[in-house]
Amino acid sequence: MVTIKSKKEIEKMKEACRVVALTYKEIEEKIKPGMSTFELDQIAEKKMRSLGAIPAEKGYDIGLKGVPPFPASICVSINDEVIHGIPSRNRIIKEGDIVSVDTVALKNGFNGDAARTFIVGKASNDAEKLVNVTKQAFFEGIKFAKVGNRIGDISHAIGEYVHSQGFSVVREFQGHGIGKEMHEDPGIPNYGKAGRGIRLEPGMTLAIEPMVIQGKPNILELDDGWTIITEDGSLAAHYENTILITEKEPEILTML
C-alpha cells in the first residue's frame, strides 16, 4: 500500500534525508585512491551517527535463506559492480575507478535514501559519460514526477533517455517508495510504458534510482548473496535521490 505522508512525517523525512546529503558531502571530500572501501564505510557511519541517525543498511535482512544480513553501513560498488557491494579492508580504491555508494539513514523513525557514483581521480571519457548519463537519467525521470502523472511516466522517461545515449538499464532492480520502511510501495522501474501504474499524489515520497550499464543489461549475483555485477564486465553507475511529490514541482530531499 502506498503511504501518503503528513506534514509532520514529511518534516521527519527531511531530517533523515539531510543526514544522507551531509554524509555524501563528507564522502566526496574524503574519497581518494589508496583508501579501502571499509574506510569509506567508517567515514559514512561516523557522520550519520554524529547527526543523530543510524545507518539503516547495517544489518538489513532480505529474509532469504543463506543470505546473511548486510554487514556494513553503506553499499560500495566499484566499476563493474552495479549495486550492493560490501565494503572490505582488502578492497582498495584506485585512480580512475568509478565508485557507486548507496546510503540509507534512519532518523526519528523515517528513512532517507540516495546513491552517488564518484569518479576517483581521472577516468576514461566513456566512464565519465556513463556517470553523467546516469545522473541525468534521474532528472529526466523527475520531470514527470508531478501530481496526476503515473509511475510509468517516470520509468519511461528514464529508460528512453538511457537507451538514447547507448547504455542499458538494469531491469531486475528498481526504485521504490520510502518512509518508515526503507522499501515501500510503489516499485519504480527504470523502464516501461508511459501512462501505466498508479497516479502520483501530494505527500508521496519516492526513491528514484537509475542503475545504468555501459554494455548489455545482463547481471550476475556474487556468492556473498549481495553484490550484483555486470555479466560482460562493463562499467555500471548508480544515482538516486529521495523526492517528495508536491502540488507543484517535485522536491528533492537528499540534496543540500
Cell numbers at residue 150, please? 503515473
Q: At 116, list the grid cell.
A: 552517488
The cell numbers describing 214, all together, are 555501459
Phi, psi of 45 (to 5 degrees): -65, -45
Summarised one tens digit per residue, pLDDT across range 19-64 is: 999 999 999 999 999 999 999 999 999 999 999 999 999 999 999 9
Instruction: With CA atoms as reference, report the closest residue to 129 among 146, 139, 117, 141.
Output: 117
Instruction: With 0.95 as the threshold, say if the pTM is over it.
Output: yes
Q: What is the pLDDT of residue 33?
A: 98
Query: What pLDDT does residue 197 have?
Result: 97
Cell of 249: 514541482
Structural domain boundaries in the chain: 7-252
Query: What is the C-alpha to C-alpha distance for residues 34 and 190, in angstroms, rounded to an integer?
Result: 33
> Exposed, middle or buried: residue 92 (CB in 10 Å: 0-12, 13-18, 19+)?
middle
The number of C-alpha atoms within 13 Å of 17 and in the hemisphere containing its C-beta is: 24
* Fold that domain 7-252 belongs to in CATH: Creatine Amidinohydrolase (3.90.230)
pLDDT, tens digit, 9 for 90 and up, residues 173-209: 999 999 999 999 999 999 999 999 999 999 999 999 9
pLDDT tens digits for range 78-136:
999 999 999 999 999 999 999 999 999 999 999 999 999 999 999 999 999 999 999 99
The residue with cell 548473496 is: 225
